[in-house]
Amino acid sequence: MRNNPFATNTRTTNQLMLLVCAGLIPGAITQFYFFGWGILINLILCGVFAISAEALVLKIRKRSILKTLKDNSALLTGLLLGLAIPPLLPWWMSFIGVYFAIIFAKHLYGGLGYNPFNPAMIGYVLLLISFPLAMTNWLPTSELLTLKPDLMQSIELTFFGVTNDSLSNISKNVTDIKTLADGFTMATPLDHIRTSLTQGFMLSEIQSQSNENVAFTINSNSWIWVNIAYLVGGIYLLFLKIIRWHIPVSIMASMVVSSIFLSMLDDQIYLSASDHLFYGASMLSVFFIATDPVSASTTQKGRLVYGALIGFTLIMIRTFGSYPDAFAFAVILLNIASPTIDHYFRPKVYGTNITGKKIPIKIMDDNLQKDNLRGNDFKDDHNE
* Residues near other proteins, by CB under 8 A: 1-9, 11-13, 15-16, 67, 71, 73, 111-114, 244, 293-294, 296, 298-300, 303, 342, 346-364, 366, 368, 370, 373-374, 377-383
Give CB contacts under 8 A, 24+ apart, made by 14-21: 14/70, 14/71, 14/72, 16/242, 17/71, 17/72, 17/73, 17/75, 17/76, 18/72, 19/237, 19/240, 19/242, 20/76, 20/237, 20/242, 20/243, 20/288, 21/72, 21/75, 21/76, 21/79
Q: CA 64 to CA 66: how far, in whole Å?
A: 6
Choose among 183, 153, 182: nearest CA to 169: 153
- Phi first, then psi, for residue 195 (nearest 5°) are -60, -45
Residue 79 Cα to chain centre, angstroms: 10
Q: How far is the CB of 24 from other proteins (least distance, A)?
A: 18
Nearer to other proteins among residue 62 and residue 358 (C-beta): 358
Beta bridge partners of 172: 163
Largest CA distance in the chain: 84
Residue 371 Cα to chain centre, angstroms: 49
Judge whether 382 and 9 are in contact, CB under 8 Å.
yes
Three-state SS at 301: helix
Q: How far is the CB of 69 from other proteins (least distance, A)?
A: 12
Residue 90 Cα to chain centre, angstroms: 21
Q: How far is the CB of 291 from other proteins (least distance, A)?
A: 10
Q: How far is the CB of 8 from other proteins (least distance, A)?
A: 6
Query: Dihedral, CA atoms, 98, 103, 107, 112, nearest 10 degrees?
Result: 10
Count, residues in the chain: 384
Judge whether 380 and 9 are in contact, CB under 8 Å.
yes
Rounded to whole angstroms, what are the CA distances from 181 to 145, 146, 176?
Answer: 7, 6, 10
Q: How far is the CB of 383 from other proteins (least distance, A)?
A: 7
- Phi first, then psi, for residue 187 (nearest 5°) are -90, 170
